[in-house]
């Protein structure tokens, strides 16, 4: 009987297509908007993800997220180093700086100063040059996205393609000369501003003078110790906030979720996609069932039980759900793939695929339930009414 | 008019000899709606249908013919009275037993054929077998054999929309026969057909569907097919007013 149900479904090709498109639309919007949301959220924590070595980030307790730096006194580094369980600790400067390029234009950039001696906190990967070259005089490393876009040189002719910033080029950072010694590759940040890496002491000298300049203390935990336990000790002994990488990521994401309109905007888009998909699918599936009510009544009169009819409807709903889910997620993935390397923040983790699948199941169940109700209430005697 | 010896006036608790009887209806009533909107469709129907008999139910519109075959076929609950089909009473069965009994025992032929438009002819005919748990492959094989019997075996791969009305009704008859039910109920089987096609369909029904242990109940308005009946029950106002075995006596 399931084959009969399947043929009833696909035989009405126009309606079948419409129902599948309804599910596809919902699934696509959920997966695509969800992916962009997750991509954006991922970018808010780009620096945390890209700074691979430290187990713990230590900061002022009032810091709410990665870009909300509240500088500490440099002496805090030594207090952290004195906590039991800390294998090593290094300084990290994070601030904004205005870069003046050779042609005289300005560009705001993220300036990251990493520990002079160990160079811990540097970029995760290099396209050109090495992190070690930061030890050269006036050396900076610029991220590839910044070098090829905002820091690229433009000739006077608008038709000419911009010339990417390259190793050997110079910049002016707060009236101080900086020489590009490497091009790094990292995750785009939320603000999408170029990332300029240099040593901590040089970053402090580039940056406008402030009484305190230490943004974060990066900490490595001794082998075999629990990072959370060490965080607790650091907080207790220094009065600073100490988070594991995962905790700091969540602190940052939580800030954006709570204090920005991003979740509402994306939530609305996802909700709208779900709602529209449910309405389209539900309406078309219900109307498909209504159109087939005479035949379902015939099957019922001829001896098909309610349970079997309900299974048939459920199977029809699941088939359209499965197809819509596959096409929807496929299309969303295609959008992400086509925009790979572009400025689009797109991340489609398996968890989101599961969420989209669950939404499709809900849509199909809601649609099927409407139809099931009609079938249960259907009197088989209807078959004799003309 | 020849009226058969029906136990029409016998009380329900008086036993009757059920040997060779397919359907027994005694005092069957059915009312649709309640209060002032109530419509009494059946007002105490008494009727016996013998095994191997083609019984026609005739009468004006609204006289209760369709309600009666719905009760007989177990797709409508009666309010009162007795109605048994081969000794089984639908009212005493649980819903799933009733559904299963219908699937095994009763075949249906509808006025509008009710063939599923997206299934092939063979698949449509195979449906009662699928309901009874056959595999699709075996059911379609069996269906093709029946389609041969009703003369459209070569069209088994077509969909219903490609067939004429007469051919579609043949398919519907094949579907009603395929699982060898003991009772076939037909609702206006010729009303959508021209005279000649209607006669051919009735001829087919009479030869293929009526047998030693198989009965046929046909609801019809179509006086051109009365000649095919073994007996004709005249209904009016929710009752069987009389039964004749000769069409001339109508």
- Residues A97 and A195 both lie in one domain: yes
Could you give the number of structural domains in chain A? 2
Pairing of strands B239-244, B231-236: antiparallel
CA-to-CA distance for A355 and A34, rounded, in angstroms? 9
CB contact under 8 A, A1 and B76: no
Q: Confidence class of residue B13 from pLDDT cuts 50, 70 and 90?
A: low
Long-range pairs for A70-79: beta carbons < 8 A, 24 or more residues apart:
A71/A210, A71/A211, A71/A212, A71/A213, A71/A214, A71/A215, A72/A212, A72/A214, A72/A215, A72/A217, A72/A240, A73/A212, A73/A214, A74/A212, A74/A213, A74/A214, A76/A214, A76/A217, A76/A238, A76/A240, A77/A214, A77/A217, A79/A237, A79/A238
| Residue of B66, B102, B112 with shortest CB distance to A301 | B102
At residue B250 the predicted structure's pLDDT band, cuts being 50, 70 and 90, is low
Contacts within 8 Å (CB) and 24+ apart, B158-164: B158/B120, B158/B121, B159/B117, B159/B118, B159/B119, B159/B120, B159/B121, B160/B113, B160/B115, B160/B116, B160/B117, B160/B119, B160/B121, B160/B124, B161/B117, B163/B121, B164/B197
Same domain, A234 and A300: no
C-alpha B228: how far from its chain's center?
Answer: 15
Distance from CA of B114 to the nearest CA of A (A): 6
Give the residue numbers spanning the domain of A207.
73-239
Does the CB of B64 have a partner CB in chain A at under 8 Å? no
pLDDT category at B6 given cuts 50, 70, 90 is: very low
Dihedral-angle region of residue B31 (phi above 0 means left; psi in -120 to 50 means alpha; beta otherwise): beta
Q: Cβ B131–A304 below 8 Å, yes or no?
A: yes
Residues of A with CB under 8 A from a CB of B: 1, 3-4, 7-8, 10-12, 294-295, 298-306, 379-381, 383-386
- B40-91 residue pLDDT tens: 889 888 888 888 888 999 988 888 888 899 899 888 889 988 898 888 888 8
Query: What's the pLDDT tens digit per position in A160-203?
Result: 888 888 899 888 888 889 999 999 988 877 777 899 999 999 99
Residue A240 pLDDT: 93
A103, A231: one domain: yes
In a domain, A233, yes or no: yes
**pLDDT tens string A32-51:** 888 888 888 888 888 888 88
Residue B131 is part of which domain span? 21-249
pLDDT at position A61: 93
Show residues of chain A in contact with B95, CB under 8 Å.
305-306
Range name among A103-112, B33-42, B155-164, B190-199 with the lowest pLDDT average = B190-199
Q: What percent of chain A lies above the pLDDT cut of 90?
A: 32
Closest CA to A56 of A95, A93, A94, A87: A87
- Would A51 be classed as within a structural domain? no
For residue A328, give every residue at least 6 positions away whose Cβ sits within 8 Å of its Cβ, in sequence order, or none.
A23, A24, A25, A26, A27, A28, A30, A31, A356, A360
Residue A67 lies in a domain: no
**Residue B162 within any structural domain of the chain:** yes
Please check whether residue A251 lies inside any domain of the structure: no
Q: Which of A3, A8, A301 sits opposite B108 (nearest CB)?
A: A301
Are residue A164 and residue A280 in the same domain, yes or no?
Answer: no
List of chain A residues whose C-beta atoms are within 8 Å of the C-beta of residue B114: 294-295, 298, 383
Would A271 be classed as within a structural domain? yes
B119 vs A: CB within 8 A: yes
Same domain, A86 and A228: yes
- Residue A349: CB atoms within 10 A of its CB come to 12
Q: Which H or E run contains B195?
A: helix B195-204
Q: Is residue B12 part of a domain?
A: no
In tens, the pLDDT along B105-126 reads 999 888 888 889 889 999 999 9
pLDDT for residue B19 = 67
Beta-carbon contacts of A213 under 8 Å, excluding residues fewer than 6 positions away, are: A71, A74, A93, A204, A207
Closest chain A residue to B175, measured at CA: A302
**Within-domain flag for B15:** no
Nearest Cα to Cα of residue A95 among A76, A110, A108: A110
B114/A298 touch (CB, cutoff 8 Å), yes or no? yes
pLDDT tens figures, A125-168: 899 999 999 999 999 999 998 888 888 887 777 778 888 888 99
Task: Report if residue A361 sits inside a domain.
Answer: yes
> Does the pLDDT of residue A228 top 70, yes or no?
yes
Pairing of strands A216-221, A56-59: antiparallel
Give the pLDDT of residue B18: 61
* Span A57-61, average pLDDT: 94
Contact across the interface for A303 and B76, Cβ inside 8 Å: no
Q: Are residues A221 and A267 in the same domain?
A: no
> What DSSP element (H or E) covers A361?
helix A350-377
Confidence of residue B8 (pLDDT cuts 50, 70, 90): very low
Which regions of A223-271 does DSSP assign to beta strands (E)? Answer: 241-244
Q: Does A334 have pLDDT greater than 80?
A: yes
Neighbours of A373 (CB within 10 A): 12
A269 and A33 Cβ atoms separated by less than 8 Å: yes
Cα separation, B250 vs B248, whole angstroms: 5
> Which of B102, B119, B187 comes nearest A302 by C-beta?
B102
Which residues from A are below 8 Å from B108, CB to CB? 298, 301-302, 383
Cα of B27 vs its chain's centroid, Å: 20
- Looking at the partner chain, which of B106, B116, B128 has a beta carbon nearest the beta carbon of A295? B116
Q: Are B49 and B22 in contact (CB under 8 A)?
A: yes
In a shared domain, residues A296 and A375: yes
**Mean local confidence (pLDDT), A280-302:** 82
Q: Is the pLDDT of residue A79 over 80?
A: yes
Closest-CA residue of A relative to B111 is A386
Residues A30 and A118 in one domain: no
How much is the average pLDDT of A243-247?
A: 93
How confident is the model over B213-223, as a mean pLDDT?
86
User: Coil, helix or strand for A59?
Assistant: strand
**Residue B2's pLDDT is what?**
41
> Residue A62's CB: how many other CB atoms inside 10 A?
8
pLDDT of residue A230: 94
Does residue B87 or residue B17 have the better pLDDT? B87
Instruction: Note whether A227 and A295 are same-domain residues.
Output: no
Query: CA A103, A105, A106, A107: dihedral to nearest 10 degrees?
Result: -90
- Pick from A47, A131, A294: which is nearest to B108 by CA? A294
**B29 pLDDT above the threshold of 60:** yes
Same domain, A217 and A348: no
Instruction: Give the separation between CA B234 and CA B2, rounded to whole angstroms.
Output: 12
What residues form DSSP beta bridges with A341?
none
Establish, for the pair of chains A and B, how many residue pairs have beta carbons separated by less than 8 Å.
82
Least confident of A121-130, B13-22, B120-129, B225-234: B13-22
Instruction: Specify the pLDDT at position A196.
Output: 93
Instruction: Give the closest-approach CA distance of A8 to chain B in angstroms.
Output: 6
Are A11 and A134 contained in the same domain?
A: no
Q: How far apart are CA A43 and CA A190, in angstroms?
A: 5
CB contact under 8 A, A302 and B123: no
In a domain, B14, yes or no: no
CA A370 to chain B, closest CA, distance in angstroms equals 22
CATH number at residue B95: 3.40.50.300
Q: For residue A385, what pLDDT band results from cuts at 50, 70 and 90?
A: low
Of residues A305, A307, A379, A374, the one with CA closest to residue B76: A379
pLDDT bucket at B129, cuts 50 / 70 / 90: very high
% residues pLDDT > 90 (chain B): 8
Q: Is residue A200 part of a domain?
A: yes
Ranking B194-198, B218-222, B227-231 by mean pLDDT, the lowest is: B194-198
Residue with tokens 């797709």: B75
Name the domain count of chain B: 1
């Amino acid at each position: 009987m399931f084959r009969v149900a399947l043929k009833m479904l696909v035989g009405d090709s126009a309606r079948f297509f419409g129902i599948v498109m309804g599910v596809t639309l919902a699934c696509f919007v959920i997966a695509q908007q969800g992916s962009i949301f997750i991509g954006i959220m991922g970018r808010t924590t780009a620096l945390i993800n890209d700074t691979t070595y430290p187990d713990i980030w230590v900061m002022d307790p009032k810091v709410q997220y990665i870009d909300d730096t509240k500088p500490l006194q440099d002496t805090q580094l030594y207090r952290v180093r004195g906590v039991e369980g800390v294998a090593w600790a290094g300084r990290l400067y994070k601030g904004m700086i205005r870069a003046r390029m050779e042609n005289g234009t300005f560009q705001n950039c993220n300036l990251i100063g990493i520990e002079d001696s160990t160079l811990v906190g540097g970029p995760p990967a290099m396209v050109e040059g090495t992190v070690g070259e930061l030890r050269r005089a006036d050396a900076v490393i610029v991220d590839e996205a910044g070098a090829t876009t905002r820091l690229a040189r433009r000739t006077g002719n608008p038709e000419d393609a911009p010339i990417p910033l390259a190793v050997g080029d110079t910049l002016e950072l707060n009236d101080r000369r900086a020489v590009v010694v490497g091009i790094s590759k990292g995750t785009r940040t939320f603000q999408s501003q170029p990332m300029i890496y240099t040593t901590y002491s040089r970053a402090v000298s580039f940056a406008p003078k402030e009484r305190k300049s230490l943004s974060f203390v990066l900490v490595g935990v001794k082998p075999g110790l629990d990072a959370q336990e060490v965080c607790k000790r650091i907080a207790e002994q220094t009065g600073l906030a100490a988070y594991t990488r995962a905790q700091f990521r969540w602190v940052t994401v939580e800030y954006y979720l709570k204090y920005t309109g991003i979740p509402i905007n994306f939530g609305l888009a996802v909700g709208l996609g779900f709602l529209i998909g449910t309405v389209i699918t539900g309406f078309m599936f219900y109307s498909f069932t209504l159109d087939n009510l005479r035949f379902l009544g015939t099957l019922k009169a001829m001896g098909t039980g309610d349970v079997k009819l309900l299974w048939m409807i459920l199977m029809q709903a699941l088939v359209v759900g499965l197809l819509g889910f596959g096409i929807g997620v496929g299309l969303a993935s295609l959008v992400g793939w086509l925009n790979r390397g572009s400025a689009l923040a797109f991340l489609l983790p398996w968890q989101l695929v599961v969420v989209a699948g669950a939404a499709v199941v809900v849509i199909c169940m809601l649609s099927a339930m409407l139809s099931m109700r009609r079938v249960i209430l259907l009197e088989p005697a209807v078959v004799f009414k003309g | 008019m020849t009226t058969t010896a029906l136990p029409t006036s016998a009380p329900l608790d008086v036993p009757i000899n059920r040997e060779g009887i397919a359907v027994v209806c005694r005092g069957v009533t059915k009312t649709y709606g309640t209060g002032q909107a109530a419509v009494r469709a059946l007002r105490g129907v008494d009727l016996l249908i013998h095994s191997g008999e083609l019984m026609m139910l005739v009468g004006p519109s609204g006289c209760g013919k369709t309600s009666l075959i719905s009760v007989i076929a177990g797709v409508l609950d009666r309010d009162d009275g007795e109605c048994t089909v081969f000794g089984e009473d639908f009212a005493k069965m649980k819903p799933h037993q009733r559904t299963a009994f219908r699937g095994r025992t009763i075949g249906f032929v509808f006025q509008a054929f009710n063939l599923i438009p997206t299934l092939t002819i063979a698949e449509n005919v195979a449906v009662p077998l699928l309901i009874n748990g056959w595999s699709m492959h075996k059911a379609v094989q069996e269906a093709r054999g029946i389609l041969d019997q009703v003369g459209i075996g070569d069209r088994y791969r077509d969909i219903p929309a490609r067939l004429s009305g007469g051919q579609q009704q043949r398919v519907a008859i094949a579907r009603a026969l395929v699982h060898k039910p003991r009772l076939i109920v037909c609702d206006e089987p010729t009303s959508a057909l021209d005279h000649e096609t209607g006669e051919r369909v009735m001829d087919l029904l009479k030869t293929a569907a009526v047998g030693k242990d198989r009965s046929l109940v046909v609801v019809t308005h179509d006086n051109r097919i009365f000649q095919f009946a073994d007996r004709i029950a005249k209904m009016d106002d929710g009752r069987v007013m009389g039964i004749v075995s000769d069409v001339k006596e109508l």
